[in-house]
Each structure stands twice: as structure tokens, then as C-alpha cells.
A and B are shown apart, each in its own frame.
Chain A
Amino acid sequence: MILEVKEITKKFGGIQALTDVSFRVNQGEVFGLIGPNGAGKTTMFNIITSMFPPTTGEVVFIKKRLTGKKPYQITKEGVCRTFQNIRLFPDMTVLENVTVGQHCRTSSGVWSGVLKLKSQRMEEESIKRKARDLLRLVGLEELEDSFADNLAYGQQRRLEIARALASDPKLLLLDEPAAGMNEKETNDLFELIQKIKKLNMTILLIEHDMPLVMKVCDRMAVLNFGKKIAQGTPEEIRNNPAVIEAYLGREEEDELA
């Protein structure tokens, strides 16, 4: 077990965004977090990465308590995320975006940077080398000098993944990586997730694209109105009546409307 989410509750003013949600993610698996819009999935990501604190409950990562830590400390512990509404550094080049991701694994300060000490030059070289490796992994090596802002949507999503990978996470949180992608891009994403998994990484995934989720996840939890209503393998989830009722029922409503 790598991540344990214990009885997380989150209230925003009078609204209960999450109620008593617990789940565990095992080392090396792809764990899906699914549920209708507004079920509290992104809120859960924000709590795991300490973007804001939970009202009650705690998050434990490899025996260390994450709750109460600052977001940057959590990245250093080995948990890194992407954002649902892509948040790249728009005026940086593709390569620079990935180098920023390595910030917490490198150490040069003001003086070594200004004096260009040997250690700093070597560090810079290794940063660049690693950034290029990651860009190759996500298939953006040709575009390293373009501004992040000028990339196509699917490319931006992949760049965000590369940037997160640059921080050497043990656990990668992906927030709707397939959102807005066409079929081919989604397939590429599937391949990419498989590749990342082979790098001995654990992935926690929020996704609406059900075929992708069913294909890529080892296990998953289903949230609805801030509560966990089911957990299990894709097969179990597919046949779970509560999920069908809450999740699919709502989708039908959407379709009717």
C-alpha cells in the first residue's frame, strides 16, 4: 500500500463536498477515481496535494502523514499531479516547463547559479538531459523550443504529464487527462499510461472516458455526491447496481435533458 486516504470530509461553507471518504492505493497499480461531475473527485486531489486542508480525516503516503504539509513538500515526498484545466507555464518553452518540474530534485541556489560553478553546470546538463528523455517519452521531443501556450490541446495534456514526471513522483495524480481528446489522442494516452506504469510508478486517475478507465485501471473507487458508493476491479464496478443506478442513471437523465 502506497497511499491511504482516511475518512476525509470536506465542507465548503454549508456545502459538504466530501463525506467520510476512505480508500487505499497499492504500489504499482493504476487506481481510478470516477463519478459524475461534481462528485468531489478534484476536491479529493486538492486535499491529497494539500491545495486546501480537509475538514476532518487524513492522508497517509508511505507511512508519512501528508495532511498539514505544504503542497511543495508533498511534491518532494513523491506525489505530483496534473490539472483538470491545464495549468502549464504558458510563456515558457516546452523544455523549460519540464525543467521546472525537476525543481525539488535539484539544489542550485542563487550563488552557484550566478557564478556558474561546476556543480551547477553539471546539474543543468543533467536537468536538460532528463527533460529531453521525458519529452521523448510523451512524444514531444520535436517541440522543445515552442511555447507551451502554442501547443495543441492534446500536446499540452502530455506536456503536463511530462512536467509532473520530472519531479520523480512515486505516485502520479492525473486529473482527467483524456478530457477534450479525440480517439487517436486517447489511444496514445492509453499507451503512455502503460509506459509510465512500467516505470514502476503508481497512478491515481480521475477520468470520465469510461472505455479508457475500464481498460487502464486495475481498481477504482466511485464517488457520488461526495460519498464513496463502490470500490473494486473494473469488472466489479461494471456490475455494481449502486454504480449503475447513481452513475449511469444520471447520464441517461443528462441525455434526456
Chain B
Amino acid sequence: MLLEQLINGLTLGSIYAIVALGYTLVFGVLGIINMAHGEIFMFGAFMGVVVTHTLQLPLALAFLVAIAVTAMLGLFLELIALRPLRGKKGVSHLAPLISTIGVSIFLENLAHHFFGAGNRPFNTSFSQLSIQIGSVTIYAVQLVIFAIAILLMISLSFWLSKTKAGKALRACAENLEAASLLGVNTKKMIMLTVIIASVIGGIAGVLVGMAFNSVTPQMGLSMGLKGLAIIILGGMGSVRGAMVGGLILGLSETMIVVFGESGYRDAIAFIAIIIILLVRPQGLFGQPVTEARR
């Protein structure tokens, strides 16, 4: 029983980690919080529903469609909500935050109109596949989620540190201006970052649909809030922090359900935020907030 819960916690944590990776990537490069990330994730989940349930097409196609659609959303996000604010005089650091909140609320209500407010089932035969080891049931979906999370993290770390594009991206993260002086096409790199982050969110969306068999327009908000909690917990802009923070949150949420306080499950993330901000504002893996007072 406990072992099963542990596996559930790891699965949930892996999903949280994947969502948080999207936030981290954008924050690391652009220094902004993309409040629309949760809703892009939700669109990914709905693409999964539409492809597998409504159109009765194979699961693999669902991933492809989700990736394509969320990539488009990322592109629009960058072109409409982020680029117009960049480098404009007198724009406060809160502007991109407000602008992405606008995108998030727009997307959520767009989903309402397209898909209705209710709960949509995500039935694939794959969701039912399970392995029985002793008294413990492990669903194939859980293994897939775990594997994808690990894969994403490894490939992201590898891509960032080893490939040319990744190095350019990291140069952007260090200093946008310097990177552009060094001949990095920052415009392209920023767009690439936002698109990759969105696609990661879209993949997470399909995975969540599979694992929990429920997709609603509101899921973007609650998942987005948790992703934010995780990047504060793990440290803004830290890939490792996003993974560890995600797992911590997933496990502790599962545990609180085991101990019977399921109603407060959704509050854990935010109690964690408040505590971490008090004790260690830079997060578990973040660089100490430097003395530069803005």
C-alpha cells in the first residue's frame, strides 16, 4: 500500500517536474515568469483527448499533435505577448507577468468555449495496462511518465551543455546583451526557448491526461500554480531544482492524502512557498540572491 503510494507520488512528482522545467527554462533565459505556461499545458492535454478519444486515433499521434499545437502557442506567446515588451523604455518588470496572465486567462476561456467546462475522460487502452508485482500494481502509464521525465531532464541538460544551440541559449541566460554582441541571434534563441518550454508543457499535458484520466480547462491554473511553487522551492532557473522540487511536492502531496488530509493537498505547495521564501529565498538550488538590489 505504502509502496504503491510512493509510486503514485513519484509519478505525480515527475509530472510536476516536467511542468516546472518549462517555467525554469523561460525564467533562466528571459528572467520572466510565464504565467500562461499552465494553460499551454492544458491545451496539450486537450489535444490528447481530441486525438485519442474524439477522433479515435493512436496515442503516438496525440503526442505529435500536442507538440505541434503547443509549439504554435509558444510562438504566438512570444510574438504577441513577450516580444512587444522587450527593450521598450519605461516598461516595468511586472509587464511581462501581466501580459502572460492575459494570455493565460484568454486560453483558459478559449478552452471553455471549445471543449466545455466539464471533465473530459481520456480513455486509451494504454491507460489500463498494468503490471502486478506482489501486491503492488504499477501502471504502464506511470513507467512511461517517469521515463519521459528522466529523458527530458537528461536531454535538456545535455542539449544545454553540449550542443551549439544549447550553448548559445546558456549565453543568453547569462546576459542577453553580451550574447547578442558575441553574435548569438538572441531573437531566434528566445523564440526557441519559449517554444521548447511550451512543447515540454504540452507533453506533460498528454501525460497527465493519461495518468489521471481527466482533463478540464481549469487544470492549467492549478498545475501552473504548482509549477510556480516548485521553481520557487527548487530555485528559479535551476533545472536540477525543478526536478527535485517537483519530486518533493509530488511525494508530499501523496503522503498527505495517505494521512487523510486530502482537502489540504492543494495548499501544500503554497505553504512551501511561504516557508521557503522566509528561510531560503533563493530556493534549494538557486544562487544566493546577490546584493544587487535590483
> Which residue numbers of A lie inside 8 Å of B, CB to CB?
51-53
Contacts and interface: CB of A to CB of B under 8 A. Distances in A.
Contacts, number: 5
B11 to A, nearest CB: 40
B170 to A, nearest CB: 18
B92 to A, nearest CB: 12
Interface in B147-173: none
Nearest 5 A/B pairs, CB to CB: A52-B291, A51-B293, A53-B291, A52-B293, A52-B292
Contacts of B291: 52-53
A44 B292 CA distance: 15
Contacts of A51: 293
Contacts of A53: 291
- How many chain B residues sit at the interface, stated as a range, is under 10
Interface in B239-294: 291-293
A252 B292 CA distance: 33
A172 to B, nearest CB: 22
A53 B293 CA distance: 12
B88 to A, nearest CB: 15
Contacts of A52: 291-293
Contacts of B292: 52
Interface of B: 291-293
A86 to B, nearest CB: 15
A51 B292 CA distance: 9
5 contacts: A51-B293, A52-B291, A52-B292, A52-B293, A53-B291
A53 B290 CA distance: 12
A51 B291 CA distance: 9
A70 B293 CA distance: 13
A251 B292 CA distance: 30
A52 B293 CA distance: 8
A52 B289 CA distance: 13
A41 B20 CA distance: 42
B206 to A, nearest CB: 43
Contacts of B293: 51-52
Nearest to A149: B90
B163 to A, nearest CB: 28
Nearest to A10: B291
A133 B291 CA distance: 37
Nearest to B90: A90
B277 to A, nearest CB: 21
Nearest to A71: B293
A85 to B, nearest CB: 14
A84 to B, nearest CB: 15
Nearest to A51: B293
Nearest to B293: A51
Nearest to B292: A52
A66 to B, nearest CB: 17
B291 to A, nearest CB: 4
B99 to A, nearest CB: 21
A71 to B, nearest CB: 9
A14 to B, nearest CB: 13
Nearest to A46: B291
A183 B53 CA distance: 77
A52 B291 CA distance: 6
A50 to B, nearest CB: 11
B95 to A, nearest CB: 16
Nearest to A13: B290
A119 to B, nearest CB: 34
A53 B292 CA distance: 11
B89 to A, nearest CB: 10
A44 B97 CA distance: 35
B201 to A, nearest CB: 34
